[in-house]
Amino acid sequence: MALSAAPAIAILRSSTASRFAEVTRTLHESGVGVVELTLTTPGALDALREMATDAPDTLHLGIGSVTTAVEVELSVEAGARYVVSPAVVPEVVAEARRLEVAVLPGAFTPTEVLTAWRLGASMVKLFPAGSGGPSHLSAVRAPLPQVPLVPTGGVGIEEAAAYLRAGAVAVGLGTPLLGDACEGGGLAALRERAERLLGALG
């Protein structure tokens, strides 16, 4: 799966999706090839639909905060190449598999992680990762080495590499990477943060 080759997922969550296209373009130009637009942002599906029409093959656009099968269907119709859920929702995993898109359920405990994997998750979003840190990821992964984990939630640029060293296949970052870019903040600063993140991840 193409997502597994990307070390970072940028998570766009804002009060408006009006700047998502511009922010995504900056991220992609900086080397971040996987971007997640969240359904909790008004207009996220419309923004995805517009962006997906001419997105290059090196840009993987997905939808996050997905909690129902209907939302999976709407996301895929809008152009999502993967969907992300904050929890283990069987109908979300089943619908994503039916539509043949990658799905990352959110899980925190070993029981939740294994349940998500057995349902057919492509990867499992360890969430909220900041509550346990890299040591929690390492502890969860020890008995479940076959499950690709993507820590998300509370992961900072400075800590990102530690999660990879602990065994994560990628990291998901929202505010620490995006800052105020989605609300009109400087894109030059966003570019600097993105380059700093990718530099840290090697």
Query: Over pLDDT 70: what percentage of the chain?
Result: 98
pTM reported for the whole predicted model: 0.96
* pLDDT digit string, tens, across residues 116-165: 999 999 999 999 999 999 999 999 999 999 999 999 999 999 999 999 99
Helices (H), the chain: 20-30, 44-52, 69-78, 90-98, 110-119, 133-141, 160-165, 175-178, 187-201
Distance, in Å, from the CA atom of 198 to the CA atom of 196, rounded to the nearest integer, reads 6
Distance, in Å, from the CA atom of 149 to the CA atom of 152, rounded to the nearest integer, reads 9
Do 166 and 142 contact (CB within 8 A), yes or no? no
Structure tokens at 88: 């283990």
The pLDDT value recorded for residue 182 is: 97
- The closest alpha carbon to 92, from 69, 112, 59, belongs to 69
The residues carrying an active-site annotation are 36, 125
Q: Which residues pair with 172 in a beta bridge?
A: 9, 152
Distance, in Å, from the CA atom of 171 to the CA atom of 61, rounded to the nearest integer, reads 16
Query: Over pLDDT 90: what percentage of the chain?
Result: 97
* pLDDT digit string, tens, across residues 78-113: 999 999 999 999 999 999 999 999 999 999 999 999
- Backbone dihedral region for residue 46 (phi beyond 0: left; psi -120 to 50: alpha; all else: beta): alpha
Distance, in Å, from the CA atom of 93 to the CA atom of 21, rounded to the nearest integer, reads 27
Distance, in Å, from the CA atom of 141 to the CA atom of 149, rounded to the nearest integer, reads 8
Distance, in Å, from the CA atom of 19 to the CA atom of 175, rounded to the nearest integer, reads 15
Structure tokens at 59: 């840009």
